[in-house]
Structure 1
Amino acid sequence: MPVLPARALLLDMDGTLVNSDAVVERIWRRWADRHGLDGDEVMRVVHGRQGYASMAVLLPDRPMEQNYADNARMLAEETADLDGVVPVPGAAEFLASLRAQDVPYALVTSADVALSTARMAAAGLPMPDVRITAESVGASKPDPEGFLKGAAELGIAAADCVVFEDSGAGIAAGHAAGMRVVGVGPRAAAHGPDVVVRDLREIRVEAVRDGAGDDTRGGVRIHVGRD
């Protein structure tokens, strides 16, 4: 199995820890219908980005003020619609392992505080102590700002962080931040992550306490693949 050394993990939420595809499909396809856009084309763009950034790609001539207003309405819709939100297989065990071993990690999501809190709760997953949400950044993925802020909050150099992501925008953001990326799920493989897993059951994180890592920074080995 491949083994990635690291000192911290930066975790996307949607598609990585939480499977929210059902509600994302419902809400974005309704939006596509309202604007006369092809739903399949819209779905190829929206994963990983903040809503206003997706709208800017899909409606390039529309004023950004309208995108921000539309984004606020859609965030409220998404927060209220939790039907079908479930954990990605292995997510609960993965997060429990990080906590039990005192591994530094952070959530880095394009969702805002309300949406990320609602979806993590609906999936039955604990919210990480350190989280970078839409309110924390001035630029959406694929800009690396979110991941760089996550590393800074943890006090870990970017090169010592490993990103877990499912989307093209998120994978690009991780690489732009100078980080290695584990691609999670079926969307990830097409976007060039360093390694790919089907879900989080194929990840085992081992804290290093024998001098091979930095004990004060939580050195870890990330084992990728099924035992």
Structure 2
Amino acid sequence: MTGLLDNIKGALFDLDGVLVDTAKYHYLAWKELADQWGFEFTEADNERLKGVSRMRSLEIVLEVGGISISEEEKLAKAEQKNERYLEYIRRMDASELLPGAKDYLYRLKERGVRIALGSASKNAAFILEKVGIADLFDAVVDGTKVAKAKPDPEVFLLGCRELGLKPDECAVFEDAEAGVAAAIAAGMYVVGIGSPANLGAANRVVGGLDELAG
């Protein structure tokens, strides 16, 4: 690590695509709904769901299929999708942590950096427990605590408050364009996890946390 990352007091991590890959389980659960409605929901379509709330994700799936349902049906289908997703993540264990994730979290803890999760997922705390890293987090801000989805900065600003730090004292680690935009709007240094082609607005882009943990 070099530069500003050496001096941060707080680190806020997105969950899916940064620490673990649960996107594949979200995709399978949404695809099952699309199959029931009789249209194809591709992995390319699924890219639009990264970093957004469950209800907004459902609306995008419906848009892809040209489907219109009532608000009551939306709530029922979102719950059905979540139950299917939960069936997948209940089987998760530490082997599903992405390369370098645990090592980098430990490195930050050793430096006295405070760590928070900033995720749209309402299952974030459960997943952290399943993969064995919950005790490394000083705060968990997830879909149960925020009203506005990324790219609104609410999740990261609340994470800063829970860590007792200012935005300019923190770095955000994100794999989605909406998350990078949220971090920038919050006034934080942002590390994109993934491809520079998608995350060029970030201050720095790496392929994974293993590049920082080494």
Q: Give the TM-score taking structure 1 as reference length.
A: 0.78
Gaps in structure 2 of 5+ consecutive residues = none
Instruction: Sort the Cα spacing of 1:34 and 1:173 in 2 relative to 1 into closer, same or farther, 3 A.
Output: farther
The whole-number CA distance in structure 2 between the counterparts of 1:2 and 1:101 is 14
**Displacement of 1:107 after TM fit?**
0.6
Q: Mapping of 1:118-197 within 5 angstroms?
A: 118-127=126-135, 128-186=137-195, 189-192=197-200, 193-197=202-206
In the alignment, which of 22, 33, 42 is matched to residue 24 of structure 2? 22
- Counterpart AA for 1:95: L
Gaps in structure 1 of 5+ consecutive residues = 205-225
Q: Which has the higher strand share?
A: 1
Aligned 8 A contact 1:49 1:140 in 2: yes
Q: Mapping of 1:1-227 within 5 angstroms?
A: 2-4=2-4, 5-35=7-37, 36-59=39-62, 62-82=69-89, 83=91, 86-112=96-122, 115-127=123-135, 128-186=137-195, 189-192=197-200, 193-204=202-213
Match of 1:218 in 2: none
Partner SS, residue 51 of structure 2:
coil
- Counterpart AA for 2:3: V
Aligned 8 A contact 1:159 1:179 in 2: yes
Aligned 8 A contact 2:9 2:114 in 1: yes
Aligned 8 A contact 2:34 2:61 in 1: no
Q: Which has the higher helix share?
A: 2
The whole-number CA distance in structure 2 between the counterparts of 1:3 and 1:33 is 48
Q: CA RMSD in A?
A: 2.4
Between the two proteins, what is the percent identity of the paired residues? 30
Match of 1:211 in 2: none
Partner SS, residue 182 of structure 1:
strand
The whole-number CA distance in structure 2 between the counterparts of 1:65 and 1:136 is 23
Aligned 8 A contact 1:151 1:158 in 2: yes
Aligned 8 A contact 1:15 1:21 in 2: yes
Aligned 8 A contact 1:183 1:189 in 2: no
**Displacement of 1:71 after TM fit?**
2.6
Deviates more, 1:172-181 or 1:123-132: 123-132
Aligned 8 A contact 1:87 1:125 in 2: no
